[in-house]
Structure 1
């Protein structure tokens, strides 16, 4: 419920502060007084886009603030989902800066316009001639029937199941696409895998292979150099070991002469032992070196295979080749097991389909049962609004398609006159008739669910007399369970309001401004009398106004 509205520097409004109450609130004023400006301000609160033309004074920012009592609307989940601070008394503020930029806040938390728009839809329903076209929207027609048939909760469960069904459908299609891609690549992948497996990469170390290759490929040079080294160490005439042996004898003699030569003799002895050990190792290594062309060819082939695979797969190491081998192996396993995955998904989809069908069947049955109640209430109410021959033919047909709200096709047909053919609402009803149908639907819905605040913008266009009085009574009854605003030119409707506000223009210092004033009892009499007789108020008009207010 809208409890407070503040508008500053918007269009012709300099500053406006107003409190609203529950029930039916009437807004009147001469044509051009600024009622549309008030609606424009509310539209900004509901998320409509704004521009600099909204500013009265383009050097100051425009601020529109509205306070709502939201306790009955079950909006906590919405606030949590959108990271907003919840309060039973929620304040929405919209600011338009002189730069043209716009900002929106809910309880002082900045929000995007799409969030504000979604919240606004649940707080205020501004009903205009354009909004009447909603009547012809299939989804709105379903919403009306579902409310009367009391299946809204079942439809919500159905929609949750449908979401799961659609997710499973997408997963199944994705898996089938993967299967097709795998089958297309399967033979080539298996060839690559076999090629890598045959290389037995797990047991190979590239550095070791390269070392073995170098030893075998250079066996002759190795043997030649080892032989030369052995010769230098063991030659009888000039071999290093023979010379060191002689050196040992001479240093040994010195050590026996004087103690200070003992260290020198020990060092020579140590050198001899080290070189003798080197000599023995050279002899062993020389014995191990052999020419093996077969082994050389085998290792060369292994190295070439590794290099070819690295080039083929654009990698630099055996580890990377093993990773590719593992990936190809996994693909092979997936390719072999993907059929099981598809079968499991198809089974899951079948279960969801049966659940959806069961819910859709129950929803269909209740919709069929609820249609007579809706039809009777609509026709009875329209009869009181000057449409005694209005008839509805609402048809629901089961299909085999899963739609967003069930498996039904809906035809919402209407005939305004006796003997007239049934046709779609938009073809069978005039603008004024559509307005009355919408009023009746909103009135019926208000009995079954908590509707947001509704603002009727001249819904009474084209009616008068007793029909206007009946229309006013309907809005007054709606006001017993919800907040209703009516912008009207008809005195019969204006008299039924719990509150009455007048929109008027005022020229001060050659500047026109729009104001909104709540009328007291005597002011209401004058306003309604003026609506009855014009600018010159007669005694009979005053008496008639008092009678309307007391009826």
Structure 2
């Protein structure tokens, strides 16, 4: 429950500190005194977006801090889900800086507004005029029925399977679309792939073939030059080998005369060895050379094939052609496996459909089972609240489709008068009736949902007399299980509170500020008497106020 609230530099509030108790707390004050400001500050704690215009002094930051005692409310899983440290005394702080930036903290850990909203929904339920209108939405009506039906786990399971179902459907559509497109290209891609496979591509082959072709195509010229070189090296009269052998012999005789001659001798000897080696290789090359027209034709044909493939695929070399072949293999393989993959997805969708149908039926049956009891409880509360002929007609139809919260189509119809036709809530009930219906719904929900705090913002608008007395009684009854706040203008409701807070405005140094004070004893009697008869207190108003309080 909410145990303390601190507001600094927000709207008309300069610095407000308030402590709260459990049970039923009343908040009163004249119109414009600042009750809506209090709610606005609380809304920021619950994750509402900040507005720079909210700052009282736009040169200072606004700080709103709330303390919650949540020891008894099983909220640790929510903290774990949002990666927050759980504290039984949890402090939420919101800051709005003069720059317009906003910061939020839970137990001094920075959090996003999304996390703050998730946590806030489990801490305080603020009932406002907007929420009364929300009551006519399907989503809210399902929340009411589901709270009574106890289908939280089934809905979690359903949601998980619905997510998988949608993902599989999305993948199936993508694959089916791809198949339609791929089938058009499959035959052509298969032809291109087969052509490359038959070519038996080898990385680096092109360069090797081009070299072999040049050799075979110029074999006579090559042979002529090699033969001439062989003769020049080996001629007995003028051959390089003979001449260099004589030079070596000459220097062998003078090598011992100086280091210089010795070095020249060694160099001549090394050159002669190298020249003999060159001669051997030329001789071997000459023996290996042989014209081969058939091989020349084979190499030429192979080169032509490779060049045509390079040109066809706009490739620069064999490596790139091999990459293109691999890519075509992937495309053809994917296309050929599409039927298998599509069948697998269809089977997965069928499996998820079966689970969703089963869960949808379970949820439907549980919802259907509590509708008579919900109807009886709501109508009983409305009888108390001065609507003796109020009736609900709640129907639930199991549909073929898969919705976010099950397979049900809900009709939540209402009739306020005897013999009247059933219509949607927003067409069958007035504003005052909607407020009473919402109170009845909240009263029923309080028996089934664990919520630390609920705050009613003038839910008694449009009612008076005995009805307002009954409304106060219902809120008082709810406060036995939870902390209840009621902002009210009705003395009958105000008198039922366990504690009473008053919001008031005062002018200090020509600046208007809003403040909050706890009333007790005679101060509370006076406040309720003024609510009954205005600022001029009469003895009858004071007596009536004491009677209401007693």
- TM-score, with length taken from structure 2: 0.93
CA–CA distance in structure 1, aligned partners of residues 255 and 395 of structure 2: 132
Describe the SS at the equivalent of 1:201.
coil
Number of aligned residue pairs: 549
CA–CA distance in structure 1, aligned partners of residues 397 and 53 of structure 2: 49
CA–CA distance in structure 2, aligned partners of residues 402 and 195 of structure 1: 50
Query: Which residue of structure 2 lines up, in the alignment, with residue 30 of structure 1?
Result: 30
For 1:130-169, list aligned pairs within 5 A.
130-169=130-169
Query: Which residue of structure 2 lines up, in the alignment, with residue 189 of structure 1?
Result: 189
Q: 1:529 to 1:298 in 2, by over 3 A?
A: same
CA–CA distance in structure 1, aligned partners of residues 496 and 414 of structure 2: 30
CA–CA distance in structure 1, aligned partners of residues 416 and 263 of structure 2: 133
CA–CA distance in structure 1, aligned partners of residues 398 and 135 of structure 2: 22
- State the Cα distance separating 1:304 from its structure 2 match: 4.1
Query: Which residue of structure 1 lines up, in the alignment, with residue 547 of structure 2?
Result: 547
Describe the SS at the equivalent of 1:182.
helix
- State the Cα distance separating 1:431 from its structure 2 match: 0.9
Query: Which residue of structure 2 lines up, in the alignment, with residue 57 of structure 1?
Result: 57
- State the Cα distance separating 1:163 from its structure 2 match: 1.7
CA–CA distance in structure 1, aligned partners of residues 540 and 257 of structure 2: 157
- State the Cα distance separating 1:226 from its structure 2 match: 0.8
1:199-244 per-residue CA deviation (whole Å, 9 max, x = no partner) reads 1114763332233233223323322221221121233432223434
Q: 1:452 to 1:221 in 2, by over 3 A?
A: farther
CA–CA distance in structure 2, aligned partners of residues 275 and 440 of structure 1: 115
Q: 1:300 to 1:415 in 2, by over 3 A?
A: same
Query: Which residue of structure 1 lines up, in the alignment, with residue 448 of structure 2?
Result: 448
- State the Cα distance separating 1:264 from its structure 2 match: 8.1
CA–CA distance in structure 2, aligned partners of residues 268 and 144 of structure 1: 109
> Are 2:399 and 1:427 equivalent residues in the alignment?
no
Query: Which residue of structure 2 lines up, in the alignment, with residue 415 of structure 1?
Result: 415
Query: Which residue of structure 2 lines up, in the alignment, with residue 396 of structure 1?
Result: 396
CA–CA distance in structure 2, aligned partners of residues 434 and 247 of structure 1: 126
- State the Cα distance separating 1:173 from its structure 2 match: 2.3
Contact 2:3–2:20 (8 Å) recurs in 1: yes
Contact 1:172–1:345 (8 Å) recurs in 2: yes
Describe the SS at the equivalent of 2:500.
strand
Q: 1:217 to 1:502 in 2, by over 3 A?
A: same
Q: 1:507 to 1:329 in 2, by over 3 A?
A: same
1:250-282 per-residue CA deviation (whole Å, 9 max, x = no partner) reads 667x48999999998887677656544533432
Q: 1:458 to 1:257 in 2, by over 3 A?
A: closer
> Are 2:228 and 1:228 equivalent residues in the alignment?
yes
CA–CA distance in structure 1, aligned partners of residues 521 and 308 of structure 2: 100
CA–CA distance in structure 1, aligned partners of residues 142 and 264 of structure 2: 114
CA–CA distance in structure 1, aligned partners of residues 497 and 225 of structure 2: 119
Q: 1:462 to 1:274 in 2, by over 3 A?
A: closer
Query: Which residue of structure 2 lines up, in the alignment, with residue 92 of structure 1?
Result: 92
Q: 1:263 to 1:505 in 2, by over 3 A?
A: closer
Contact 2:233–2:240 (8 Å) recurs in 1: yes
5+ residue gaps, structure 1, are none
- TM-score, with length taken from structure 1: 0.93
Contact 2:203–2:318 (8 Å) recurs in 1: no
- State the Cα distance separating 1:314 from its structure 2 match: 4.7
Query: Which residue of structure 2 lines up, in the alignment, with residue 326 of structure 1?
Result: 326
5+ residue gaps, structure 2, are none
- State the Cα distance separating 1:422 from its structure 2 match: 0.5
For 1:290-301, list aligned pairs within 5 A.
290-301=290-301
Contact 1:148–1:373 (8 Å) recurs in 2: no
**What is the root-mean-square deviation of aligned Cα atoms in Å?**
2.6
Contact 1:415–1:422 (8 Å) recurs in 2: yes
Contact 1:70–1:88 (8 Å) recurs in 2: yes
Describe the SS at the equivalent of 1:17.
strand
Contact 2:45–2:94 (8 Å) recurs in 1: yes
> Are 2:474 and 1:478 equivalent residues in the alignment?
no
Q: 1:292 to 1:474 in 2, by over 3 A?
A: same
Describe the SS at the equivalent of 2:446.
helix
Query: Which residue of structure 1 lines up, in the alignment, with residue 380 of structure 2?
Result: 380
1:456-476 per-residue CA deviation (whole Å, 9 max, x = no partner) reads 111111111111111001000
Describe the SS at the equivalent of 1:448.
coil
For 1:36-51, list aligned pairs within 5 A.
36-51=36-51
> Are 2:355 and 1:355 equivalent residues in the alignment?
yes
- State the Cα distance separating 1:439 from its structure 2 match: 0.5
1:485-512 per-residue CA deviation (whole Å, 9 max, x = no partner) reads 1000111100111110001111122211
> Are 2:172 and 1:172 equivalent residues in the alignment?
yes
CA–CA distance in structure 2, aligned partners of residues 316 and 62 of structure 1: 68
- State the Cα distance separating 1:337 from its structure 2 match: 2.3
Describe the SS at the equivalent of 2:177.
helix
Query: Which residue of structure 1 lines up, in the alignment, with residue 406 of structure 2?
Result: 406
1:101-143 per-residue CA deviation (whole Å, 9 max, x = no partner) reads 2222222222222332232222222211121011111011111
